[in-house]
Amino acid sequence: MTATALDAPVAVPVKSPSHWANVVRRFRRDPIAVTCLVLLLLIIAAAIFAPWIAPYDPYKTSMIRRLQVIGAPHYLLGTDELGRDMLSRLIYGGRLSLFMGLGPVAIALVVGGCLGVAAGFLGGWVNTAIMRTVDVFYAFPSVLLAIAISGALGAGLLNSIVSLTIVFVPPITRVAESVTTGVRSLDFVDAARATGADTFSIIRVHVLGNVLGPVFVYASSLISVSIILSSGLSFLGLGVKPPEPEWGLMLNTLRQAIWINPIVSILPGVAIFATSICCNLVSDGLRAAMDMRR
């Protein structure tokens, strides 16, 4: 063969950035997404380091100092209906609220991901069994399902997490199945099968890498829903119980106070709103960073 430029030897091996490296690079160019990610990390950090940051004990009540306004001396964000410092409660509240928000999505990602990939790759009766079961759960609007399961299991942190996980597994399974079916039909999967590799290795090496991205992005869009739903459950009295600081529960107990100190009573909701919006914008940024790939 005639020597062409392609044949010319190169001294050092050429290495290209991987897919994820490209995604990170594109994400970094999006100012809104990066800002929200930073904010989110700050919120998470505040929750983790609560004992060192919060000015007061979040459980300490004081009947004299109930419902102080914002900017009151010693109480930057006022106090709640039992005299507890709002700022401390909000910071500590982040722990439970974030845990109840992120936990179910993380678990559902693993469970739903496995189910969806199995259904998509194996097809046949496995697919039918899994997807039709998923369809039954789709018959319920998520809020209704969450409340029904929580109502059945009873209030409590663990029950809420179980309830929300069950709510999120079906949509993640659906997305995972759909993406896997698409990847499965591509020639390179057939080429891999033609080499005699076993199913598990084919999934691990060829399918997962192409499926995880879209599924992960979808799951990230569910985080804000999870935070709102979990706080909503607490709002209804189905989540954590008093006196735990949790944003949704705080909204519930402060409801009567809207006539007396409206600004303070809506503060927990501001926290939920802020976290939720940051999650959504980061998720959007992630999707955009992955989209232009192909």
Partner 1 sequence: MLTYLLRRILYAVPIALGVSLVVFSLVHLAPGDPLSAVVPADAPAEVVEKLRHDYGFDRPLPVQFFLWARHAVVGDLGRSVATGEDVATQVLAAVDNTITLAIPAAILGFTSGIILGGIAGYRQGRWLDRVATGIATIGISVPHYWLGMVLVIVFSVELNALPAMGMGEGGSTAWAWDWAHMQHLILPMVTLAFIPMGIVTRTVRATIAETLGQDFVEALRAKGLGDARILGHVAKNVAPTVLAVLGLQLGYLLGGSILIETVFGWPGSGFLLNTAILTRDIPVLQGTILVLGMFFVALNVLVDLAQTLVDPRIRRG
Partner 2 sequence: MSALPDTRDRGGPNQPLLIVTSLRKYFPIRGGLLNRQVASVQAVDDVSFSVRKGETLGIVGESGCGKSTTARLLMRLIEPDVGQVVFDGEAVGAQDGISVRDLRRSMQMVFQDSYASLNPRLPIESSISFGQRFQGIGKVEAAARSRDLLARVGLEPNRFAQRYPHELSGGQRQRVNIARALALDPRLLILDEAVSALDKSVEAQVLNLLADLKAAFDLTYIFISHDLNVVRYISDRVMVMYLGKVVEIGPVDQVYANPRHPYTSALLSAMPSMDPDHRTEQPPLTGDPPNPINPPSGCRFRTRCAFAEDVCAVAPALTALDPADEHAVSCHRETAGSGHSGAPAS
Is 187 a binding residue for partner 2 by CB under 8 A? The answer is: yes
Q: What is the CB neighbour count within 10 angstroms for residue 124?
A: 8
The DSSP output letter for 84 is -
Query: CB-wise, 1 or 139, nearer to partner 2?
Result: 1
Query: CB-wise, 122 or 143, nearer to partner 1?
Result: 143
- Give CA–CA dist 138/129, Å, rounded: 14
Instruction: Select the span of 13-21, 216-224, 234-242, 271-279 touching partner 2 (CB under 8 A).
Output: 13-21
Query: CB-wise, 141 or 209, nearer to partner 1?
Result: 141
Sign (positive/negative) of CA torsion 44, 49, 54, 97? positive
The only residue of 16, 152, 200, 292 in contact with partner 2, by rule CB under 8 A: 16
Q: What are phi and psi of 224, to 5 degrees?
A: -65, -35
x/- mask, partner 2, residues 19-58, rule CB under 8 A, reads x---------------------------------------
Taking CB within 5 to 8 Å according to partner kind, which of partner 1, partner 2, none is near residue 255? partner 1
The only residue of 63, 64, 194, 292 in contact with partner 2, by rule CB under 8 A: 194
Long-range contacts of 234-241 (CB under 8 A, 24+ apart): 234/100, 234/160, 236/147, 237/155, 238/147, 238/150, 238/151, 238/155, 238/160, 239/100, 239/150, 239/155, 239/156, 239/157, 239/160, 240/96, 240/100, 240/155, 240/156, 240/157, 240/160, 241/155, 241/156
Query: CB-wise, 102 or 212, nearer to partner 2?
Result: 212
Taking CB within 5 to 8 Å according to partner kind, which of partner 1, partner 2, none is near residue 192? partner 2
The only residue of 141, 201, 242, 260 in contact with partner 2, by rule CB under 8 A: 201
Instruction: Identify the CA nearest to 96 among candidates 39, 160, 169, 142.
Output: 160
List of residues 6+ apart from 145 with CB closer than 8 A: 137, 163, 166, 167
Taking CB within 5 to 8 Å according to partner kind, which of partner 2, partner 1, none is near residue 284? partner 1
- Shortest Å, Cβ 21 to partner 2: 11
Taking CB within 5 to 8 Å according to partner kind, which of partner 2, partner 1, none is near residue 123? none
Residues 141 to 180 in contact with partner 2, rule: CB under 8 A: none
Instruction: Select the span of 67-75, 93-101, 113-121, 202-210 touching partner 2 (CB under 8 A).
Output: 202-210
Instruction: Select the span of 115-123, 186-194, 241-249, 257-265 touching partner 2 (CB under 8 A).
Output: 186-194
Report helix angle 31-48 to 19-28, nearest 10. Answer: 90
Taking CB within 5 to 8 Å according to partner kind, which of partner 1, partner 2, none is near residue 149? partner 1
List of residues 6+ apart from 239 with CB closer than 8 A: 100, 150, 155, 156, 157, 160, 230, 231, 233, 246, 248, 249
Judged by the rule CB under 8 A, the positions of this chain that interact with partner 2 are 1, 4, 6-16, 18-19, 186-188, 190-198, 201, 205-206, 209-210, 294
